[in-house]
C-alpha cells in the first residue's frame, strides 16, 4: 500500500510586541523548527531609516522622509537560519543595529508614506511564502492589527520592562551595573511609548491575538508553546 505524505497546510503567523519581549528569537526558532519562512519587519524599518540618515535626511523632517519613501530598494531574505537585509544591494544587517539607527527609527517609521511602502513589501513577501511553502512567521508591531489582519495565528508577546532591559543589556556584554540597566530600560520605554502612541498603525495587540508573557519562560519554552499553537491550528 502506498502512503501519501501531504504537504503541511501553509500558515501565516503574526508575532507582535514591544522591544525585548523575544519576537525575533522566537520567530526565528519557530520558523526554523517548522521549515517556514521568517520576516523581521523591524529590520525593514531600520533599513529605510539607515538609508535616510545616509542621504542626510533629518528623521524629524516628516515631509522630506515622506518624499523619499519610495526611493531605496529594500530586499529581505526570509531564511530563519540566515536572514538578510539589503538596501540598494548593500548588506546593512550590521549598521541597522547601531545606536544612530535605533535612535531615529521610531520617527521614520511613524511617517504614513513609510508605513504604506513597507507594509506593501511585507504583504507581498507573506503572500509569496504562503503560496510556495509551509508558510511564514512575520514579527513586528502592527502585523496582527494592520499588515496581516487575516493571519491564521496572532501572538502578542509581553514582558516587564526590567526583564526586557536586562535581556537587551545582556546582548551588549560587559558588566551589568544598575546605571546601565536603568539607561537601557529608559531607552526601551521611550521607544515603546513612541511606537504605541503614533497615529499611523501603532504598536498594539490585535483583539484576536493570544497574549504570552515571556518573563518567566525560557526561549525554548516560548518556541515550544508557539509551535504547539501552530500545530493545533493546522489540525483544526
Options 96, 214, 226, 229; binder of ligand ADP; rule CB under 6 A: 214
Residue corresponding to grid cell 535616510: 52
Residue corresponding to grid cell 510586541: 17
Binding mask 19-48 toward ligand ADP (x if CB under 6 A, else -) reads xxxxxxx-----------------------
Q: Is 20 annotated as a binding residue?
A: yes
Residue 169 burial class via C-beta count within 10 angstroms: exposed 0-12, middle 13-18, buried 19 and up: buried
Q: Which residue, 57 or 214, has its beta carbon nearer to ligand ADP?
A: 214
Q: Is 50 near ligand YYY (CB under 6 A)?
A: no
Q: Could you count the other beta carbons within 10 Å of the beta carbon of residue 90?
A: 13
- Look at strands 84-87 and 90-91 and give their pairing: antiparallel
Q: Would you say how long the chain is, in residues?
A: 236
Q: Is 195 near ligand YYY (CB under 6 A)?
A: yes
Binding mask 53-92 toward ligand YYY (x if CB under 6 A, else -) reads ----------------------------------------
Q: Is 19 annotated as a binding residue?
A: yes
What φ, ψ does residue 12 adopt, rounded to 5°?
-110, 120
Name the 3-class secondary structure at 33.
Answer: helix
Q: Is 122 near ligand ADP (CB under 6 A)?
A: no
Measured torsion, CA atoms of residues 93, 23, 14, 66, in degrees rounded to the nearest 10: -50
Please choose which of ligand ADP, ligand YYY, none residue 142 contacts, taking the beta carbon within 5 to 8 angstroms, the exact cut-off set by kind: ligand YYY
Do 73 and 89 touch, CB atoms closer than 8 A? Answer: yes
Please choose which of ligand ADP, ligand YYY, none residue 214 contacts, taking the beta carbon within 5 to 8 angstroms, the exact cut-off set by kind: ligand ADP
Can you name the residues that pair with 39 across neighbouring β-strands?
138
Can you name the residues that pair with 153 across neighbouring β-strands?
13
Q: Is 22 annotated as a binding residue?
A: yes
Residue corresponding to grid cell 529590520: 43
Residue 187 CA to residue 13 CA, distance in Å, equals 28
Q: Is 117 near ligand YYY (CB under 6 A)?
A: no
Q: Is 144 near ligand ADP (CB under 6 A)?
A: no
Please choose which of ligand YYY, ligand ADP, none residue 41 contacts, taking the beta carbon within 5 to 8 angstroms, the exact cut-off set by kind: ligand YYY
Q: Which residues bind ligand YYY (CB under 6 A)?
A: 19, 24, 41-43, 45-46, 105-106, 109, 140-143, 191, 195
Q: Which residues bind ligand ADP (CB under 6 A)?
A: 17, 19-25, 167, 171, 214, 217-219, 222
Amino acid at each position: 500500500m502506498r502512503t501519501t505524505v501531504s504537504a503541511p497546510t501553509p500558515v501565516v503567523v503574526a508575532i507582535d510586541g514591544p522591544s525585548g519581549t523575544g519576537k525575533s528569537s522566537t520567530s526565528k526558532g519557530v520558523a526554523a523548527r517548522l521549515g517556514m519562512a521568517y520576516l523581521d519587519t523591524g529590520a525593514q524599518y531600520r533599513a529605510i531609516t539607515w538609508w535616510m540618515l545616509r542621504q542626510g535626511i533629518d528623521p524629524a523632517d516628516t515631509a522630506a522622509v515622506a518624499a523619499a519613501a519610495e526611493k531605496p530598494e529594500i530586499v529581505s531574505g526570509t531564511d530563519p537560519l540566515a536572514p538578510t537585509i539589503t538596501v540598494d544591494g548593500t548588506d546593512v544587517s550590521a549598521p541597522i543595529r547601531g545606536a544612530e539607527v535605533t535612535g531615529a527609527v521610531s520617527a521614520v517609521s511613524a511617517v504614513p508614506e513609510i508605513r504604506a511602502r513597507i507594509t506593501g513589501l511585507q504583504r507581498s513577501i507573506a503572500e509569496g511564502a504562503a503560496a510556495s511553502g509551509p508558510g511564514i512567521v512575520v514579527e513586528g508591531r502592527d502585523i496582527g492589527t494592520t499588515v496581516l489582519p487575516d493571519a491564521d495565528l496572532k501572538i502578542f508577546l509581553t514582558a516587564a520592562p526590567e526583564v526586557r532591559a536586562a535581556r537587551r543589556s545582556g546582548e551588549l556584554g560587559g558588566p551589568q551595573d544598575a546605571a546601565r540597566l536603568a539607561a537601557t530600560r529608559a531607552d526601551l520605554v521611550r521607544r515603546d511609548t513612541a511606537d504605541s502612541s503614533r497615529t499611523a498603525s501603532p504598536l498594539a495587540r490585535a483583539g484576536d491575538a493570544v497574549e504570552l508573557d515571556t518573563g518567566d519562560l525560557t526561549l525554548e519554552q516560548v518556541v515550544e508553546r508557539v509551535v504547539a499553537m501552530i500545530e493545533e491550528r493546522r489540525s483544526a
